[in-house]
């Protein structure tokens, strides 16, 4: 079984090592499926998120010379940028939690401050319980699971967005079979 065909833009970027003719190149360009136009407008929710917007600009720079992405892909690009931003946020939270620690004096001080602020006793207990869970091994494991799940989602989206070059190869349509001419057709038999 042979490999999937590469998209024509990728072949041309690599230098046309397969020596495709102009007609073959034109045929491939015309048959590759594209949705929407080339204008990629950044969604508002991406512009409002600093990390997501930085990733958006990076992707647009990557895709500007190739016709890999069209306006129909904006939703997927947006989801990828937001997932990337959330991944960075989880990594930052993990770093902050690694720096935190609480001793007994701080525990009593926090409890006293919350009581003085008028927070109900039961709510204070729940808050301290959650804080201790976050600092525990269980909390770190839960955070690590979330980080790994987000990274897995990012890898899958990279395949769909063709950020992984091998993923783009699967998108190229095959060349249509040429009609075989029999000897009779070549001699003009049946051409009336």
Q: Hey, where are the domains in the chain?
A: 38-99+136-165
Token pair, residue 181, equals 């001419």
> In 37-63, which positions are buried (b, 16+ CB within 10 angstroms) versus exposed (e)?
eeebebbeebeebebbbebbeebeeeb
H/E segment holding residue 166: helix 165-168
- Average pLDDT score over residue span 113-140: 83
pLDDT at 14 over 80: no
Structure confidence at residue 112 (pLDDT):
85
Confidence of residue 3 (pLDDT cuts 50, 70, 90): low
- Average pLDDT score over residue span 38-44: 83
Tell which wins on pLDDT, 74 or 87: 87
d(CA 158, CA 76): 10
Structural contact between residues 121 and 37, judged by C-beta atoms closer than 8 angstroms: no
Question: Which of 120, 58, 80, 188 is closest to 128 using CA atoms?
Answer: 120
Q: How many angstroms separate the Cα of 63 from the Cα of each of 165, 175, 176? A: 12, 25, 28
Average pLDDT, the chain: 78
Task: Give me the long-range contacts of 151-160 (CB less than 8 A, separation at least 24).
Answer: 151/87, 153/83, 154/80, 154/83, 154/84, 154/87, 157/76, 157/79, 157/80, 157/83, 158/80, 160/76
Structure confidence at residue 45 (pLDDT):
92
d(CA 115, CA 111): 6
Structure confidence at residue 77 (pLDDT):
85
Structure confidence at residue 70 (pLDDT):
66
Rounded to two decimals, the pTM is 0.57
Per-residue pLDDT tens digits for 147-179: 999 989 888 887 777 666 555 555 555 566 677
Token pair, residue 110, equals 């926090």
pLDDT at 100 over 90: no
Structure confidence at residue 93 (pLDDT):
87
Per-residue pLDDT tens digits for 45-66: 999 999 999 999 998 888 777 6
Q: Residue length, the chain?
A: 192
- Of 45-49, 65-69, 84-88, 181-185, give the lowest mean pLDDT range: 65-69
Structure confidence at residue 69 (pLDDT):
66
pLDDT at 67 over 90: no
Structure confidence at residue 35 (pLDDT):
62
């Amino acid at each position: 079984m042979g490999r999937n065909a590469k998209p024509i833009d990728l072949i041309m970027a690599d230098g046309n090592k397969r020596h495709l003719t102009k007609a073959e190149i034109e045929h491939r360009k015309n048959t590759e499926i594209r949705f929407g136009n080339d204008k990629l407008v950044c969604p508002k929710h991406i512009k409002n998120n600093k990390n997501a917007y930085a990733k958006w600009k990076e992707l647009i720079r990557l895709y500007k010379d190739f016709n890999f992405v069209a306006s129909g892909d904006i939703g997927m690009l947006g989801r990828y940028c937001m997932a990337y931003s959330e991944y960075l946020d989880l990594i930052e939270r993990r770093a902050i939690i690694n720096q935190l620690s609480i001793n007994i004096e701080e525990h009593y001080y926090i409890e006293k401050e919350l009581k003085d602020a008028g927070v109900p006793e039961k709510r204070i207990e729940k808050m301290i319980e959650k804080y201790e869970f976050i600092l525990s091994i269980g909390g770190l494991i839960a955070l690590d699971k979330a980080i790994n799940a987000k990274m897995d989602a990012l890898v899958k989206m990279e395949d769909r967005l063709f950020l992984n070059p091998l993923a783009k190869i699967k998108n190229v349509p095959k060349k249509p079979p040429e009609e075989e001419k029999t000897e009779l057709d070549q001699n003009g038999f049946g051409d009336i």
